[in-house]
Amino acid sequence: MEREKEDGVSLKAETVWMDGELRPWSEATVHVMTHTLHYGYGVFEGIRAYQRADGQSHVFRLGDHIRRLFESAHILGLEIPYGPGDLEQACVATLQANKFATGYLRPIVFLGSEALGLGALSNRVHTAIAAWQWGAYLGEEGMKAGIRCKISSFNRLHVNVNMSKGKICGQYVNSVIAKREALKAGYDEAIMLDTQGYVAECTGENLFMVKQGRLITAPYGSSILGGITRDSVLSLARDLDVAVEERLFTRDELYVADEVFLCGTAAEVTPVREVDDRRIGPGRPGEVTRMISKAFFDTLTGNGAAHPEWRHTYQVG
C-alpha cells in the first residue's frame, strides 16, 4: 500500500504487528477516543534495519532499543503486556512479513479507548509495530554536504518536567514545535538548549562537536535522550582513538567548533555546516565527522567486522 511520499521515498508496507498478531495495514487502526491520542501517555521506539555488503540483513541494536522501550514504559508506570523477547521477535516478524531487507521500525505502546479520564487505570495497554522504508531523514544532500541548524526559541523542558530518558509520546510536542519553527524559518533542524542555556540535543538527534580533535557531547545525565546512536558513536570514537568528553557547553562554543554533527536512528550521522547562519569550520564535513561516519556505515551497510553484537541478523523471504 502506497500512502504518501516523504523525502522522495515511497512509504510502502502491507502488514503491521498489533496486539500479538500481524494485520493488514488498513486494519491496524485505533479509535478516536484512544487515551494516548488525547494526552500522549505512551512510549515508542525508532529502530533501523540494514543490509550489509554481503546481503545479510540485520536490525541495528535491536535488544538495546527494546530495552529502552521497556525503560520508557517503566518511567511512566506503564505495564507492557509482552516480554522483551516477544517484542524483538515481533519486530523481525514485521520486517519479514513486509519482505523488508532494510527498513525503519516503529514500536508503540499506548492506552486504549475504554475511559478518557486522565487516570484510566483500567484501560487496555496496546502494542503495535509498524515498518516502512525511510531514506536519509535529513536528506541525501544534507548527509553529504552538511545541514543548516538554528538554535530553537523553545527549550528542552526541565528534567523534572520531561522525563528525558524516556521516548514518551507526549513529550515530542516540544520537539515538533521546535522542528516546525526551524523548517518554516528555512533551516533543516533545530538545536535545543536546556533551561539553563546549555546545548542539549536536537529534536530527534543527539549532537556532537569537535574542537581540536576532541569529540564533545552533552553528558548522559543532562536533559537529553540517551541515544543508542550516541552510544555507538562514543564506542566508535574510542575504537578510533579519538578523545571524547561528555560535558556541558554553550551555544557560542558550538559557533566556534571545528566540526558539528548530529546522530540518531533516523538521522544516522549527519554533518552540520552552519549554526545560526555561522559557518562551522570550513563549512563542509570535517575529518573526525567523516571518520566516525565511515566507521558507522561500515558496521551497518559495509563489511566492517567490528561490533557484531550490534547486529541482530534475520532472513527475508
Which residues are CB-neighbours of 42 under 8 A, at least 6 positions away?
36, 78, 108, 109, 110, 111, 168, 169, 170
- Which residue number, 125 or 163, has a Cβ lying nearer to ligand PLP? 163
| Nearest distance, CB of residue 232 and ligand PLP, angstroms | 8
Catalytic residue among 5, 150, 165, 167: 167
Scan residues 22-61 and list those touching ligand PLP (CB under 6 A): 46
What φ, ψ does residue 201 adopt, rounded to 5°? -165, -170
- Strands (E) in the chain, as ranges, are 2-6, 9-12, 15-18, 21-24, 42-44, 47-51, 57-60, 103-111, 125-132, 147-151, 189-193, 199-202, 206-211, 214-217, 244-246, 259-264, 268-275, 278-279, 311-314
The residue from 127, 223, 265, 299 that contacts ligand PLP (CB under 6 A) is 265
Task: Give the range of 33-41, 84-92, 103-111, 225-233 binding ligand PLP by CB under 6 A.
Answer: 225-233
Place of cell 561490533: 307
Confirm or reject binding of residue 225 to ligand PLP (CB under 6 A): yes
- Which residue number, 206 or 270, has a Cβ lying nearer to ligand PLP? 206
| Nearest distance, CB of residue 203 and ligand PLP, angstroms | 6
Task: Give the range of 69-77, 92-100, 203-211, 213-221 binding ligand PLP by CB under 6 A.
Answer: 203-211
Task: Give the range of 227-235, 252-260, 285-293, 294-302 binding ligand PLP by CB under 6 A.
Answer: 227-235
For 261-284, letters b (16+ CB in 10 Å) and e give bbbbbbbbbbbbbbbeeeebbeee
User: For the purposes of burial, counting CB atoms within 10 Å of the CB of 298, is it exposed (0-12), middle (13-18) or buried (19 or more)?
Assistant: middle
Q: How many whole angstroms separate alpha carbon 249 and alpha carbon 222?
A: 11
- Which positions from 275 to 314 touch ligand PLP by CB under 6 A, shown as an x/- string? ----------------------------------------
User: For the purposes of burial, counting CB atoms within 10 Å of the CB of 258, is it exposed (0-12), middle (13-18) or buried (19 or more)?
Assistant: middle
Query: Within 10 Å of residue 144's Cβ, how many Cβ atoms?
Result: 12
The residue from 166, 204, 281, 285 that contacts ligand PLP (CB under 6 A) is 204
Confirm or reject binding of residue 15 to ligand PLP (CB under 6 A): no
- Which residue number, 35 or 167, has a Cβ lying nearer to ligand PLP? 167
Q: How many whole angstroms separate alpha carbon 291 and alpha carbon 73?
A: 35
What φ, ψ does residue 48 adopt, rounded to 5°? -115, 145
Confirm or reject binding of residue 206 to ligand PLP (CB under 6 A): yes
Q: How many whole angstroms separate alpha carbon 158 and alpha carbon 300?
A: 35
| Nearest distance, CB of residue 5 and ligand PLP, angstroms | 22
Task: Give the range of 88-96, 136-144, 145-153, 223-231 binding ligand PLP by CB under 6 A.
Answer: 223-231
Confirm or reject binding of residue 103 to ligand PLP (CB under 6 A): no
- Which residue number, 228 or 236, has a Cβ lying nearer to ligand PLP? 228
Scan residues 152-191 and list those touching ligand PLP (CB under 6 A): 167, 175
211 is catalytic: no
Residues that bind ligand PLP (CB under 6 A): 46, 167, 175, 201, 204-206, 225, 227-230, 264-265
Query: Which residues form the catalytic set?
Result: 167
